[in-house]
Amino acid sequence: MDLSEALAQHKAAWHKRYPESARQHQAATEVLPGGNTRSVLYYDPFPLVMASGQGSHLRDVDGNDYLDFLGEFTAGVYGHSHPVIHQAITDALQGGINLTGHTLLEVQLAREIRRRLPSMEQIRFTNSGTEANLMAIALAKVHTHRSHILVFQGAYHGGLYGFAKGPSPVNVPHPTVLARYNDISSVEEAFAQHQDIAAVLVEPMQGAGGCIPAQPQFLQAVAELAREHGALLIFDEVMTSRLSPGGRQSELKIQPDLTTVGKYLGGGLSFGAFGGRANIMRRFDPREPDALPHAGTFNNNVLSMAAGYAGLSQVFTPQVCIDLNARGNHLRQAVNSRFRESGLPLVFSGLGSLMNLHAMSEPPQSVADLPPHNGPVRDLFFFHMIETGHYMARRGFVVLSLPLTDTDIESFVAATDSFIERYGALLPQS
């Protein structure tokens, strides 16, 4: 058997193993193109349809149980049924939804976020990380009176501003300069060639790009170049803010001009926010004659505000955040040492509780390093992990959430061992 035969076997078995998911997906295609309303969730032959979640467990519509090692692509840090989050949402519901006015909750959450990320001196809420980035970009352009945004190959700043394989065709049409991640000479070149760069927008670790951390000295140099050239530095911490109590920026000791966040900071509900230096954010002060508009019916919706505040203030305390990321480091080291010992060119890259599998021996420094055979190897790992009851992303993304126990994490390591035993001989060698 070779790799493609092993994959074909899994795909054939998929239809037999998940008949109700197949039926539900087929039915969904009548009203949703491809049965899908969120591209990342689709994979062939058809995606699993989930019925319910409890703690760190998911159940699909065929009645199969999984340990959730994906955690809603980092938004689900609290798991599926945390009592504090439930209580906060219940209390907010009892207070009435759609109050059509300011409430106390938005101020509480803003204060809590600023306590964690002090560079976010003033904050505005949005409904998603995508929107937060689009607002931050627009603000940077107005503030600097410049037109271009410098971003990095492989970056993902949301559904309307992504650069996985060059610019996405649905991107908003901001004039954009693309540089290479972890390559400071490409940033120097970009600044030399373009005088009109309003902002550098950068993920401290490229998340969707494959959990590729920026080298600290690279980000330091980017920060200095931005300052020298009068461009704003925007950190997209939509994923990375959970890597330490003060976000990745506190670990790097870099103070961006603006920061965008989202995901788990809304307690698991729809959420985004952008913020930064008060003298920049003041452009949104509606009392000012030159105020910029920033609309959004649900920007301060009481459910996200309440769940986000309860989660941050009562559950995801600084120590809990540190512990979760230490457990992530432990998991990544455990599986990587298995790969190394077995001589297989496989590696999980990442930081703390976020990681991504690659079919290579050393973690990539940029998307240009990713091997051409990444896809099939990651597919095989995915099928094996799903079969053994460990839910993760098809692209190799693995995320820890708080309710995962040490036993759950050991179970993931054991499933990695069984993957190596079962398929090690089929994998391309380095």
Ligand X SMILES: Cc1ncc(COP(=O)(O)O)c(C=O)c1O
Asked if residue 310 lies in contact with residue 78, where contact means CB atoms within 8 angstroms, the answer is no
In the bound state with ligand X, the residue whose beta carbon lies nearer, of 130 and 259, is 130
Q: How far is the CB of 412 from ligand X (least distance, A)?
A: 22
Mask: binding to ligand X, 250-289, rule CB under 6 A, as x and -?
------------x---------x-----------------
Dist. CA 28–CA 24, nearest whole Å: 6
Contacts of 317 (CB under 8 A, 6+ apart): none
Phi, psi (deg, nearest 5) at residue 162 = -130, 150
203 near ligand X, rule: CB under 6 A: yes
**E strands, 290-426, where?**
347-351, 354-358, 390-391, 397-399
Q: Segment contacting ligand X (CB under 6 A): 103-111, 117-125, 129-137, 314-322?
A: 129-137
Which residue among 156, 284, 309, 423 contacts ligand X (CB under 6 A)?
A: 156
Q: How far is the CB of 159 from ligand X (least distance, A)?
A: 6
Q: Segment contacting ligand X (CB under 6 A): 10-18, 54-62, 233-241, 296-304?
A: 233-241
Which residue among 67, 184, 208, 331 contacts ligand X (CB under 6 A)?
A: 208
Contacts of 307 (CB under 8 A, 6+ apart): 85, 88, 89, 92, 266, 267, 268, 269
239 near ligand X, rule: CB under 6 A: yes
With CB under 6 A, what is the number of residues at the site for ligand X? 17
Which residue among 21, 56, 119, 128 contacts ligand X (CB under 6 A)?
A: 128
In the bound state with ligand X, the residue whose beta carbon lies nearer, of 42 and 73, is 73
Locate 242 and state its tokens.
Answer: 């959970």
Mask: binding to ligand X, 67-106, rule CB under 6 A, as x and -?
------x---------------------------------
HSE-up of 198 (CA within 13 Å, CB side)? 19
In the bound state with ligand X, the residue whose beta carbon lies nearer, of 75 and 346, is 75
Q: How far is the CB of 301 from ligand X (least distance, A)?
A: 14
Dist. CA 342–CA 340, nearest whole Å: 5
Q: How far is the CB of 130 from ligand X (least distance, A)?
A: 3
43 near ligand X, rule: CB under 6 A: no
Asked if residue 7 lies in contact with residue 51, where contact means CB atoms within 8 angstroms, the answer is no
Dist. CA 90–CA 223, nearest whole Å: 43
Separation of CA 393 from chain center: 12
236 near ligand X, rule: CB under 6 A: yes
Cα Rg, the chain, nearest whole Å? 22
The DSSP element (H or E) to which 376 belongs, if any, is helix 374-387
In the bound state with ligand X, the residue whose beta carbon lies nearer, of 157 and 180, is 157
The residue type of 386 is I
In the bound state with ligand X, the residue whose beta carbon lies nearer, of 10 and 157, is 157
The residue type of 149 is I
Which residue among 120, 238, 315, 393 contacts ligand X (CB under 6 A)?
A: 238
In the bound state with ligand X, the residue whose beta carbon lies nearer, of 246 and 268, is 268
Residue whose beta carbon is closest to ligand X: 129
Q: Which of 425, 422, 419 is nearest to 396 (CA)?
A: 419
403 near ligand X, rule: CB under 6 A: no
Q: Which of 399, 361, 400, 401 is nearest to 377 (CA)?
A: 361
Q: What does the binding site for ligand X look like in residue numbers (CB under 6 A)?
A: 73, 128-130, 133, 156-159, 203, 207-208, 236, 238-239, 262, 272
